[in-house]
Amino acid sequence: MLRLTQVILPLDHTDDDLQQAVLTLLNINEEDLLSFSVFKSGYDARKREQIKMIYTLDVDTLSNTELLERFAGNQNIKATPDTTYQFVGELPTEQTTHTDRPIVIGFGPCGLFIGLILAQMGFNPIILERGKDVKRRTKDTWDLWRNRKLHVDSNVQFGEGGAGTFSDGKLYSQIKDRKHYGRKVLNEFVQAGAPEEILTISKPHIGTFKLVKMIQNMRQTIIDLGGEIRFDSHVEEFVMDGDAVKGVRLRGSDSQGGQTIMSNHIALAVGHSARDTFEQLQKQNIYMEAKPFSVGFRIEHPQSMIDKERFGTNAGNERLGAADYKLVHHCKNGRSVYSFCMCPGGTVVAATSEEGHVVSNGMSQYSRNERNANAAIVVGIEPAKDYPGDPLAGIELQRRIEKAAYVLGGENYNAPVQLVGDYLNKKPSTELGDVTPSYQPGVTLTDLSVLLPDFANEAIREAIPAFDKKIKGFGRKDAVLTAAETRTSSPLCIKRDDTYQSINTKGLYPAGEGAGYAGGILSAGVDGIRVAEAMALSMLKQISEQ
């Protein structure tokens, strides 16, 4: 088959127009065309009144070989690549050929794919998740949102599915993916019940409700393949033998009763909020480094305003859906401010995992039809400038902001909020405008500038008017800022070598966002596949040496 890229058509084109574009590009007759399908579609909205659709197509004709020769110099006409997932190694013919069951700590997107791949390879992984299954976890999460009751091991951050479960469910990334692992992730999601369109649209998303059912299906697949998933299983300590990990010891109050589970292949996929785990790693001298992260606020605007400013008269077009944005501004003080985790037609949610803290995050359903758009507006924090020394110092900075936000909100899990106009004019807010904040369980109007370092306030105050020049109305006076956005990424990196093992702890495989190697559902899933392969290769080597 042929892969055609950069096939550009008007927004209002028909299916017949798409077929005609194929015939024209290849200069063939209709009878020579056997079939074509959309591999990927997106849009170019830089000119909002002349929005173009951009397609990548897979085409089959009566003369594929001849056409490839004719268009050999055309970078937009190539042979369709094989995107089928293939493991690089020879798998055991029977599951009983090994006794060392690998352990996966964490059941977010990364741990999910480590467990799935290992199970598909026949290695019977044991997956340990400190939180609850997604059904019970959803109930606990709503308990905070509705009743102000926090469950510290079952919330937006912890539990089956990880932090990505209560998000927009974005499934795109800028990672390099030459082995098509991203396609493997998307294919597994579709098999588990995700909409098939995630395979073809350029910025796919799932939404929270669809994610919940999908994760349940993937869990059952792992179990059916011989894997084991233990919820309410909080790893408290690593069993060590010199510089090698040999197992884990669970917290005694957990359902497993402080059980010790032995294995010399352990994946650590705990997410960016497992602060007690990071503290334990430091106690056991497992090497970590501080890494940059960002802090700031969530900003809310009417979604209709964002649609109009991004799409003009094309706002509301079914092919476009709810408009998103991605913004960045480099400030005079040397800092950068950028939008992060933009949620079209979504809500701002309570996302703390520690008592006496307030954390905000964004979430959308698949329909993206809520009134407001929201996104994090954050400024970069740099270890060398802002918290040199201890790798855990970034966590302490996050905690200081979150604790202060809790106090500022009224010490009842209300989020402190401020209108953009008041924030820019350095005065507390006392009443809302037309934009109604979506955060639950509630909000408290106040002055947010006391939460962040002076350089961060200075940078954000410079960035918002700059963003307003790109999206008119972005700096509107009654847009709402909600604090605190602190969990943008892990503030540390658990360093690993080219075998994906910790650089000073054999058998420990740091993985995903919490270890500093991913930033979202798709990239976490891809990193999970890489780590699973590395673990499998090591176990296969052990088997061959027995």
List per-residue pLDDT tens for the chain, 546 residues long. Answer: 999 999 999 999 999 999 999 999 999 999 999 999 999 999 999 999 999 999 999 999 999 999 999 999 999 999 999 988 988 666 665 554 556 799 999 999 999 999 999 999 999 999 999 999 999 999 999 999 999 999 999 999 999 999 888 877 788 777 777 778 999 999 999 999 999 999 999 888 887 778 888 999 999 999 999 999 999 999 999 999 999 999 999 997 444 457 999 999 999 999 999 999 999 999 999 999 999 999 999 999 999 999 999 999 999 999 999 999 999 999 999 999 999 999 999 999 999 999 999 999 999 988 899 999 999 999 999 999 998 779 999 999 999 999 999 999 999 999 999 999 999 999 999 999 999 999 999 999 999 999 999 999 999 999 999 999 999 999 999 999 999 999 999 999 999 999 999 999 999 999 999 999 999 999 999 999 999 999 999 999 888 887
Token pair for 62: 């009566």
Residues of the chain with CATH 3.30.70.2700: 2-76
Is residue 483 a contact partner of residue 439, using CB atoms and an 8 Å limit?
A: no
For residue 25, the model assigns a pLDDT of: 97
pTM: 0.94
| Pairing mode of beta strands 293-302, 492-493 | unpaired
Nearest-angstrom CA–CA distance, 230 and 250: 11
Q: Which residue reads 């009417």 in tokens? A: 302
Question: Coil, helix or strand for 121?
Answer: coil
Rounded CA gap, 513 and 109, in Å? 9
Instruction: Map tokens 């127009």 to a residue.
Output: 17
Per the listing, tokens 């594929």 go with 64
Asked if residues 243 and 226 have their Cβ atoms less than 8 Å apart, the reply is: no
- CA-to-CA distance for 439 and 365, rounded, in angstroms? 15
**Distance, CA of 317 to CA of 142 (rounded, Å):** 33
Neighbours of 289 (CB within 10 A): 11
Per-residue model confidence (pLDDT) at position 95: 52
Which CATH number does the domain 101-288+494-545 belong to among 3.30.565.10, 3.50.50.60, 3.30.2350.10, 3.20.20.70? 3.50.50.60
Q: Contact at 8 Å (CB) between 324 and 342?
A: yes
Write down the pLDDT at residue 543: 85
Element (DSSP H or E) covering residue 364: none
Report the SS3 class of residue 96. Answer: helix
Q: Say which residues have a Cβ less than 8 Å from residue 107's Cβ, sequence separation at least 6.
A: 115, 127, 129, 131, 159, 160, 161, 162, 229
- What residues does CATH 3.50.50.60 cover in the chain? 101-288+494-545
CA within 13 Å, CB half, 514: 30
Tokens of 534: 């590395």
Residue 404 φ/ψ, nearest 5 degrees = -65, -35
pLDDT at 314: 97
What's the CATH fold of domain 2-76? Alpha-Beta Plaits (3.30.70)
Distance CA 338, CA 45 (A): 20
For residues 452 and 405, the answer to whether their CB atoms sit within 8 Å is: no
Helix (H) or strand (E) holding 68: helix 64-70
The number of beta carbons lying within 10 Å of the beta carbon of residue 300 is 28
Q: Which H/E stretch holds residue 449?
A: none
How far is residue 473 CA from its own chain's centroid? 28
d(CA 167, CA 415) in angstroms, rounded, equals 18
